[in-house]
Structure 1
């Protein structure tokens, strides 16, 4: 009996039940034929089922123009699958200067047209690109 229970719990722990671990991923990356950046190792947009995972768009300046450039790049990422900012359900914003971002938040808000997603804003000491000051990533849902 102990062996049977041990095998049962081992199967539970190691997922012995027949369950597929395969998912279908579609990718988009700025017109790149491989649909991903193989140097850094990422795709700009990854679609699984009806969910878009959008990698961060960056700027080196936290000004109205810099913020607008970030959100225009995100808009292009969304449009690659026919989505808009109204499909966005989660936004993660990373910046080296949170106070400056708060000052120009109206630029960001204009892209959402009053339909804001869940959002997290974090101040960091630096981003992947050493001179970047702002990076924003999104999760969006497409209609089923």
Structure 2
């Protein structure tokens, strides 16, 4: 059984997908990718990589809250960067926002992201 998770505090989906889907029996929530969009304007917050990463985490957190969780509920993160030279910036921000034990993580450099974003994050949480 699937349950759709949605909050207006994170950007609405820009395509045919949900912000998150919860498997009610397993208490797992699969979050769609979040880029650095301002939820009010629907536009990228800044050209700055760091600003985009921080907004992406903020958007992800709002969807996690709407799911009934916190950042501590993250069990897996997938990161997508258009330039792996910025990887240390992501690590620094993650170390500020997340506590140990850190979630499992994959990081991939991609050619492009929606809306010309420089960073995207998706998560799996366990409630």
Which bracket does the TM-score occupy, shorter chain normalised?
Answer: 0.7 to 0.9
Say whether 1:63 aligns with 2:49: yes
TM superposition shift of 1:131 = 0.8
Considering Cα pairs closer than 8 Å and 6+ residues apart, tell me whether 1 or 2 has the greater RCO. 2
CA contact (8 A) 1:45 1:52 kept: yes
Structure 1: give runs of 5+ residues left out of the alignment.
Answer: 1-23
Query: Aligned ranges for residues 101-116 of structure 1 at < 5 Å?
Result: 101-116=87-102
The equivalent residue for 1:3 is none
The equivalent residue for 2:39 is none
TM-score (norm: length of structure 2): 0.79
Decide which of 18, 22, 34 is 1:43's aligned counterpart: 18
How big is each residue's C-alpha offset from its partner over 1:111-131, in whole Å with a ceiling of 9 and x where there is no partner? 21233111000001112x141
CA contact (8 A) 1:63 1:104 kept: no
Structure 2: give runs of 5+ residues left out of the alignment.
Answer: 37-43
User: What number of residue pairs does the alignment pair up?
Assistant: 114
